[in-house]
Structure 1
Amino acid sequence: MARIGIAGAGLLGRLIAWRLAVAGHAVEVFDPADGPAPRFDGQGAAGFTAAGMLSPLAELDNAGPTVATLGLRSLALWPRIAQRLAAEPAVQALPDGAPQVRVQGSLMLAHRSDLGAAQRVLARVAEGRTIGLGAPQPLDAAALTALEPALHGIAHAWLLPGEGQIDTPVMLQALAAAATAAGVRWHWGATVTQASAGQLVLADGRTQRCDTVIDVRGVGARQAGPLASADPRPHLRGVRGETVWLHAPGLGLQRPVRLLHPRHRVYIVPRAGDRVVIGASEIESEDRSEVSLKTAVELMTAAHSVLPALAEARILRLDRNLRPALPDHEPRTVIDHGLLCINGLFRHGWLLAPALVDDALAAADLAAPLA
């Protein structure tokens, strides 16, 4: 058994804490948030803001084969994680219950005037065949209506089979509850200012010593000094993302949708309780202020153009956060003498987390891969 100190209680921090506690380690997690509950003020874990699309094929539009291959592995791991969490009494007792992973495919849509932009995306996505991801399947109007009756006014559509989605706040709450039940100790309101081999330094001057330190603070890790030339932390930047959350009773949308456009990609993701998340704004800014009118209008207009029933939806919240990105937009893991860092997941956090954690914990000899 090792004494593990984790800096950061976002998606990676909660997933790692649960995995290590189940493996028999003594785990303590430090995070500046005031508790495990969701925050939608731009200051909490970016994982709460994310729509939770598990789309290794579609993400080839924005990433290379490394991200797609890791995403394909994670897509197989998420249902196993959800199944194990669902068996935990602590998770069953949560108000939202156990998290669900839905794998029904996703849709790519384009209006008639945007076919050129769609074809450029499809050319990049076609690379998925070389790594076992298959290819988008064209749908005519009848086939699209059979899959998603709520969609209207679409000239071009493709089904991306095998892709999925996850309810991010529900999964984050479940991971925290299961980790607590396994013995994890949480230190909320505790900001880590330095994470180095065997030692965490907190903002109040306290020092926490342990056998292994795991730094998964996202953008918050940027202040760390490099431990080696491969250390990603000094090179991090925050990329702003904004989302709109709607309540749309009776909409009936079952699958995540990506609307292709020459200037931007808009995704529409159904959630339990007749909720819908609209997003995909990607702004090179570290501004954490409220969502801009421009983004809100563009996202909702785009969504309404393919889902007319959204006209009567109610706006639940406008959310924003910063995603940690490296210059190449790919994740990086560094293991060095009692310090493990994982960062730079960019817009692919939920897509990549299980596979990255599996590889990192095995490489650090802390836990076997998830069976």
Structure 2
Amino acid sequence: MTLAHTSFTILGAGLLGRLLAVTLARQGHAVSLYDKGGPLAEHSAARVAGGMIAPLAESAVAEHGVVRMGRHSLTRWPELIAPLSQPVFFQQEGTLLVWHRQDAPEATRMRQQFDATRALVTELPAVQSLDAQGMAQIEPALAARFAQGMYLPGEGQLDNRQLLAAQAHELERLGVQLHWNTPRELADFGPDHPGWLLDCRGLGARGEWPQLRGVRGEVIRVHAPEVTLQRPTRLLHPRYPAYIAPKEGNVFVIGATEIESEDLSSASVRSTLELLSAAYAVHPGFAEARILELSVQCRPALADNLPAVRQLAPRTLQVNGMYRHGWMIAPALHDVVLQVLDGGASPLAQQFDLAMELLK
């Protein structure tokens, strides 16, 4: 990036806001960051997530441009994590899909969807069909319960809580002006405001972007010493598909609920039962797990469930609409924004089919 040293004011210290703040500060720019919450990102959808970077697995519900962003991010995440002074768990051991016999038609449909996506997004690796022997090699703990599965090589995951904490530490180390518990609107900064304004507030930006809506997600974190899953595992089911993402220390994140609601009340009994039942159906060791947390948050989404970048003024950018794909696409959006700041356009955005509204 050849942008001359300038100042940046970033609204929103969720995933994308922190990524941009760390990069810009590291490049020598003066950065101020405002957020309605604190360094734990307690109001951010990024905190309540599985932290998976699984473009082929997500292709069942994602456009091809989003899948390409995910492939880009698989390369970029290790590069963005490496300079951080605190450790962040990152794994790239693929995704495993399993199903019960009665749900074999769902697996067939999913395999057809994967093959169709790979025909157009040719950089995606091939799906590997697993028989009983293949299951025993890929995930021995599940071999006795599932005689077949699908393995999606190369997909990854990280510990979202560790990364948010490491970014907060890095922001302090780099001298970013941190304004925690200080919500701000674009209107709080007049036309004479020096430098750039970057709005990454998610649903907090709805005053200026009324097309945004919230999509409720519920996630359960458990400690399960008897479970030894080695990679994210997804249970295919026509009504309530679920993922299980293993973190360090026998902690597992279980999720997949997606509800058209902006209700932030506690997790429902129905969703909790379905998620825990799915986990138990994958591995009986979850019966003795201890529930650490039931979390709820709303993800910011636009009408087409695709992210977008728009420029409201010569030095004001808004980035929003990451939907359920935040951890998978954030590095790609980060790189698009850096290209726009540097040259006024983004070749990457064309590659990702990303909606861009930039001033001429």
TM-score by length of 2: 0.90
Identity value in percent: 42
> What's the counterpart of residue 48 of structure 1?
47
Query: Does 2:246 correspond to 1:273?
Result: no
Give runs of ≥4 in structure 1 deviating > 6 Å: none
> What's the counterpart of residue 120 of structure 2?
130
SS in 1 for 2:140: coil
Write the distance in 1 (CA, Å) between the matches of 2:189 and 2:152: 44
Q: In the TM superposition, what is the alpha-carbon distance from 1:38 to its structure 2 partner? A: 5.1
Distance change (3 Å), C-alpha of 1:37 and 1:48? same
Write the distance in 1 (CA, Å) between the matches of 2:171 and 2:192: 20
Q: In the TM superposition, what is the alpha-carbon distance from 1:108 to its structure 2 partner? A: 1.0
Q: In the TM superposition, what is the alpha-carbon distance from 1:58 to its structure 2 partner? A: 0.7
Q: In the TM superposition, what is the alpha-carbon distance from 1:296 to its structure 2 partner? A: 0.4
Q: In the TM superposition, what is the alpha-carbon distance from 1:208 to its structure 2 partner? A: 9.5
Number of paired residues?
A: 338
- Aligned amino acid, residue 26 of structure 1: A
Gaps of 5+ in 1: 92-97, 202-206, 225-232
Q: Map of 1:109-128 to 2, 5 A cutoff?
A: 109-126=98-115, 127-128=117-118
TM-score by length of 1: 0.87
Q: Map of 1:79-118 to 2, 5 A cutoff?
A: 79-85=78-84, 88=85, 91=86, 98-118=87-107
Q: Map of 1:275-294 to 2, 5 A cutoff?
A: 275-294=251-270
1:32 to 31, 36, 52: 36
Distance change (3 Å), C-alpha of 1:346 and 1:270? same
Query: Does 2:140 correspond to 1:149?
Result: yes
Write the distance in 2 (CA, Å) between the matches of 1:32 and 1:366: 31
SS in 2 for 1:267: strand
Distance change (3 Å), C-alpha of 1:246 and 1:146? same
Greater shift, 154-163 or 287-296, is seen at 154-163
Write the distance in 1 (CA, Å) between the matches of 2:119 and 2:173: 42
> What's the counterpart of residue 168 of structure 2?
176
Query: Does 2:273 correspond to 1:297?
Result: yes
Query: Does 2:69 correspond to 1:62?
Result: no
- Aligned amino acid, residue 36 of structure 1: P
Write the distance in 2 (CA, Å) between the matches of 1:54 and 1:61: 14
Write the distance in 2 (CA, Å) between the matches of 1:81 and 1:307: 34
Write the distance in 2 (CA, Å) between the matches of 1:119 and 1:347: 24
Gaps of 5+ in 2: 347-360
2:158 to 148, 166, 172: 166
> What's the counterpart of residue 95 of structure 1?
none
Q: Map of 1:16-31 to 2, 5 A cutoff?
A: 16-31=20-35
CA contact (8 A) 2:12 2:34 kept: yes
2:228 to 246, 249, 252: 252
> What's the counterpart of residue 350 of structure 2?
none
Write the distance in 2 (CA, Å) between the matches of 1:311 and 1:134: 35
Write the distance in 2 (CA, Å) between the matches of 1:282 and 1:304: 20
RMSD between aligned alpha carbons? 1.9
Write the distance in 2 (CA, Å) between the matches of 1:243 and 1:31: 23
SS in 2 for 1:142: helix
> What's the counterpart of residue 307 of structure 1?
283
Q: In the TM superposition, what is the alpha-carbon distance from 1:136 to its structure 2 partner? A: 1.4
CA contact (8 A) 1:248 1:314 kept: yes
Write the distance in 1 (CA, Å) between the matches of 2:189 and 2:133: 58
